[in-house]
Amino acid sequence: MTNPSSRPPAGVPTSGSNAKYAIVAAVLSLAIVAIVVWRRSSDRESQPAPPPAPSVALAPPPPSNPKVEEIPPPPPVEEKPEAGASGPRVVYVQSAPCEAKCSGSATPELEQALQVRGMQARRCYNEALARDPTLHGHLVFDVRISQAGNVCAVNVTSNDMGSPKVANCAAHILGSNAYPAPRGGCIDSQVPLSFVTPGGQ
């Protein structure tokens, strides 16, 4: 009788080959773990950094306009009641008065500037006309202008409209800014304004 063979039956792995399978399984497991760790670390790196806190940029202060800052405030109003139906006499006085007696003469540029201001004063009448459609009349102003072209005073010398608001508004427009300088010193100029509706008196 022969001794049974020391070989295992067919299909049964030998003990040496079991070690190979264990090593291959361990290597695969380590590879899987390494891939998972690598993917997680790359995901963390690829995530965008949190945005920085928004910074508030302060706008620079607006540039100062010396021309606007040099414009004086509206002149004070002195109301002097007059006898008669012409209404109160309003005198606008600037801070730098003119000489006591004016002997200058108006240049063509100054006369044109006074006419333009007179036309601008019509807006005072138009605003009042919206409240009172029957309003009409005439205003006369004495405007004293210094040798440098600054307004020294504006006097309402005649007002047959019966509306001091229109007279005050127009006087403010006539005295609000400087004029072209007169020739030879300060001047007193008379500015008549007629406010009537179309077809009116």
**pLDDT band per the 50, 70, 90 thresholds, residue 120:** very high
User: Per DSSP, which regions of 86-150 are E strands?
Assistant: 89-93, 137-145
Q: Confidence class of residue 12 from pLDDT cuts 50, 70 and 90?
A: low
Cα–Cα distance measured from residue 137 to residue 163, given in angstroms and rounded to the nearest whole number = 9
Of 15-19, 69-73, 156-160, 163-167, least confident by mean pLDDT is 69-73
Q: Which CATH architecture describes the domain 77-195?
A: 2-Layer Sandwich (3.30)
Domain ranges across the chain? 77-195
Q: Which residue did the predictor score with more confidence, 52 or 32? A: 32
What's the CA gap between 162 and 31, in Å, rounded?
104
Residue pointed to by tokens 């036309």: 119
pLDDT of residue 76: 44
Q: What is the pLDDT of residue 95?
A: 47
Evaluate whether 97 touches 147 at the Cβ level (below 8 Å). Answer: no
Query: How does pLDDT run across 126-165, given as a tens digit for each residue?
Result: 999 889 999 999 999 999 999 999 999 999 999 998 889 9
Does 48 have pLDDT greater than 90? no
Contact 188, 142 (CB under 8 A): yes
pLDDT at 5 > cutoff 80: no
Distance CA 8, CA 6 (A): 6
Phi, psi angle pair for 106, to nearest 5°:
-80, 140
In whole angstroms, give the CA distance from residue 77 to residue 150: 17
Amino acid present at 131: R
Q: Is the pTM of this model over 0.75?
A: no
